[in-house]
Amino acid sequence: MTQPPAPAPSTPLSGPQKALHKLGLLRPIDLALHLPLRYEDETRIVKLRNVRDGELAQIEGVVTSCEVRAHGHRQLLVTLDDGSETCLLRFFSFYPSQQKALAVGQRIRARGEIKGGFGGLQMMHPSFKAATGALPTALTPVYPTVAALPQAYLRRAVLGGLERADLAETVPSDSLPANNLALAWSLRQALSFLHLPRPDVALVALQDPAHPAWQRLKFEELLAQQLSQLQAKRERARLRAPVLRVLRQPPSVGLPLHEQLLAALPFQLTAAQRRVSEEIMRDLARPVPMHRLLQGDVGSGKTVVAALAAAICMDAGHQCALMAPTEILAEQHFRKLIGWLEPLGVKTAWLTGSQKTKERRAALAQIASGEAKLVVGTHAVIQDKVVFKNLALAIIDEQHRFGVAQRLALRDKLIATGQEPHLLMMTATPIPRTLAMSYYADLDVSTIDELPPGRTPIVTKVVSEARRDEVIARISVQLAQGRQVYWVCPLIEESEVLDLRNATETHAQLSQALQGAGVGAAALQIGLLHSRMPVAEKKAVMALFTSGAMGVLVSTTVIEVGVDVPNASLMVIEHAERFGLSQLHQLRGRVGRGASASACVLLYSTGEAPRLGETARERLKAMVETGDGFEIARRDLEIRGPGEFLGARQSGAALLRFADLASDTVLLDRARQLAPLMLDQHPELAAQHIARWLGSKAQYLKA
């Protein structure tokens, strides 16, 4: 039976109850699925004379002294005597109730890391309780928690949830082979094993991802995801959308708009561009809304494919909207599309939040009347005041940067007519296969897997900060040859945590260094670009750099996507160890767009702190070894997990808590096979399974 959501509380919640709600633990099943973070061994007492330095141990003894010392940092010092030795318990933060519980004469059990030294044994901030009752016979679970939610309260709540939760089987017993490890245990067995470990269960078994208990939980979680994705896809197939079919016109009328565009382009489409354009064309001709993700590496030519789709939409008498996450990227699209479509008679409107009132009012009127067939802009496109006459196709670039609510708002622009617009989402971050099989299973995916001819390979070098002067000398050479350079900084203001050069300082240092190198005045123009600059100032800087009047652009990551300057041949990324792998690849893609040999220099810090960690080292190594965006994406998934790729796509729904896409592909394949069978043959069980694992979060899959 499907469990209903928890009713709204009629009385004010206590502190721990509020904390449970903050963790999303609203239903008994939510509590039952809140698994331990680790386990503590409270089953035995260790004598102080037998402990080793650095050992995590539980000791029992009598408090012989308890005092608050106010010299320097205020702290509570407690001496515990277990009959063999004494140990000092040191607390830097404490409450009066704790001080009372540690009064002289109290017999307590304390658990923590033992440290030795000249002053004797001590524990820093140990956990403790009164030494009453028998020792536990099994390991004690420790749960993820938040402030105001003590472990003891949370343990009681979780065990109560485990008792009350409806754990009836939702996976049909005849669906998979009987010897399948994922179904060797029931859900109740798996949860009881992890929440209430038996005395004979070893810690290694509780943490073994190949154990039947973990396999069962991972499989159920992946199955819930596959069911919800497939259900969303099927529900979408029942919706209606405008049919955007290319109609053959008699010679006297002329060619369809998309064929006119193809004929006017100064280049030929690649085979991959033609293939994905045909996939999109077939979708648009159907009466059900397209829900397609167009993925392709940096510079693979996604924009022209989007323009061809827009041309088909406009030729059928409807409007098209293209939305990008930043004004720089939106303006890049706007300029390209105007250059291609305006000579063919297409009126394009421009919408951003920074527009002047008069300009915005004119654009809104053109959109409402249908005069503007194509609308390009930022999130301003989805604001309430924007009314389309007949929107039929919505294109969202860098879709992972938009939240679910923003994408739903764009779709809602047509819903009043009883139809939905076709939706084309684009990303320059290729989606690894396992991610496409799981989080993107509800989408049709088109892949541009080749680059247009003429793209020059980019040489990538990892260089120590100590060789900064050599990098600046390389910039001088590039400028002398008439080339342009990007210099990317991760922050625009000082941070006490990260000792990083800010863009303003770097701009001043480069200006001084290049002047000293005797670079000519024309090439010496060094621009500064960051997100806090006024929009007009940003535009002015970008215009100078795009025109070639500016030699060096010092920028934060606002130039990550959308900037296309073929004359730029050198990219320097400062503190490259601080960037994600996909972001580094995106930044590198800003060069190599012209005929000149291009290079990307990854400058990393050599200071005492922070040192170059293993994860950062793996990222930089991957950048040097491959320029293939699909291989970069695969490695990024291994290093960082799925969050980097998903962004806000399923905002409000947690990422997989138990399953690991890198190691659980066999379980994922089985879940994919079972999902359609369950929806077709066991729809009630499928609904119960989705409700158990996702609750109300399944609604986010509709975007």
CATH number at residue 570: 3.40.50.300
Does the pLDDT of residue 614 top 50, yes or no? yes
For residue range 89-115, list pLDDT tens digits in order: 999 888 888 999 999 999 999 999 999
Sign (positive/negative) of CA torsion 658, 168, 211, 671? negative
Asked if residue 208 belongs to a domain, the reply is: no
Examine the domain organization and report whether 503 and 585 are in the same domain. yes
Examine the domain organization and report whether 380 and 501 are in the same domain. no
Count CB neighbours of 662 within 10 A.
14
Among 153-157, 257-261, 529-533, the least confident range: 529-533
Q: What is the reported pLDDT for 536?
A: 81
Among 57-66, 260-269, 605-614, the least confident range: 605-614
Examine the domain organization and report whether 581 and 469 are in the same domain. yes
Asked if residue 163 belongs to a domain, the reply is: no
Query: Strand, helix or coil at 43?
Result: coil
- Listing DSSP states for 408-458 in one string gives HHHHHHHHTTT---EEEEEESSPPPHHHHHHTTTTSEEEEE-SPPTTPPPE
Q: What is the mean pLDDT of residues 596-617?
A: 78
Does the pLDDT of residue 140 top 80, yes or no? yes
For residue range 353-394, list pLDDT tens digits in order: 888 889 999 999 999 999 999 999 888 888 778 889 999 999
pTM of the entire predicted model? 0.74
Reported as a pLDDT band with limits 50, 70 and 90, residue 208 is: very high
Q: Of 626, 641, 656, which marks where a domain is finished?
A: 641
Domain ranges, residue 634: 458-641
For residue range 277-318, list pLDDT tens digits in order: 999 999 999 999 998 989 888 778 899 999 999 999 999 999
Beta pairing class for 86-91 and 75-81: antiparallel
The backbone torsions φ and ψ at residue 519, rounded to the nearest 5 degrees and listed phi first, read -70, 140
Are 544 and 572 in contact by the 8 Å Cβ rule? The answer is no
Q: What is the reported pLDDT for 403?
A: 54
Q: Of 418, 448, 478, which marks where a domain is finished?
A: 448
How many domains, the chain?
3
Asked if residue 228 belongs to a domain, the reply is: no
Does the pLDDT of residue 521 top 70, yes or no? no
Mean pLDDT of the chain, nearest integer: 84
Examine the domain organization and report whether 404 and 550 are in the same domain. no
Examine the domain organization and report whether 309 and 430 are in the same domain. yes
Asked if residue 343 belongs to a domain, the reply is: yes
**Ramachandran class of 552: left when φ > 0, alpha when ψ lies in -120 to 50, beta otherwise:** beta
Does the pLDDT of residue 616 top 90, yes or no? no
Asked if residue 416 belongs to a domain, the reply is: yes
Which of 204-213, 243-252, 488-497 holds the top average pLDDT?
204-213
- Report how far apart, in Å, the C-alpha atoms of 411 and of each of 235, 352, 393, 395 are: 15, 18, 9, 10
Examine the domain organization and report whether 344 and 426 are in the same domain. yes
Q: Of 596, 617, 641, which marks where a domain is finished?
A: 641
Reported as a pLDDT band with limits 50, 70 and 90, residue 643 is: low
Amino acid at 666: V
Q: What is the mean pLDDT of residues 251-264?
A: 83
Beta pairing class for 107-115 and 56-69: antiparallel
For residue range 163-193, list pLDDT tens digits in order: 999 999 999 877 766 567 667 899 999 999 9
Examine the domain organization and report whether 628 and 547 are in the same domain. yes
Examine the domain organization and report whether 285 and 354 are in the same domain. yes
Examine the domain organization and report whether 417 and 464 are in the same domain. no
Q: What is the reported pLDDT for 278?
A: 95
For residue range 219-238, list pLDDT tens digits in order: 999 999 999 889 988 888 88
Examine the domain organization and report whether 317 and 430 are in the same domain. yes
Asked if residue 527 belongs to a domain, the reply is: yes
Closest residue by Cα to residue 220 from 681, 703, 688:
688
Q: What is the reported pLDDT for 505?
A: 85
Examine the domain organization and report whether 468 and 436 are in the same domain. no
Sign (positive/negative) of CA torsion 351, 564, 561, 431? positive
Q: What is the reported pLDDT for 559?
A: 67
Asked if residue 220 belongs to a domain, the reply is: no
Q: What is the mean pLDDT of residues 66-80?
A: 89
Reported as a pLDDT band with limits 50, 70 and 90, residue 560 is: low
The backbone torsions φ and ψ at residue 628, rounded to the nearest 5 degrees and listed phi first, read -80, 115
The fraction of the chain above a pLDDT of 70, given in percent, is 85
Does the pLDDT of residue 498 top 60, yes or no? no
Asked if residue 374 belongs to a domain, the reply is: yes
CATH classification of the domain holding 63 = 2.40.50.140
- Report how far apart, in Å, the C-alpha atoms of 692 and of each of 50, 364, 530 are: 48, 45, 45
Reported as a pLDDT band with limits 50, 70 and 90, residue 534 is: confident
Examine the domain organization and report whether 112 and 84 are in the same domain. yes
Q: What is the reported pLDDT for 607?
A: 60
Hey, what are 272's tokens? Answer: 């991959």
Which of 17-31, 494-508, 650-664 holds the top average pLDDT?
17-31
Q: Specify the residue for token string 């239903």.
A: 27
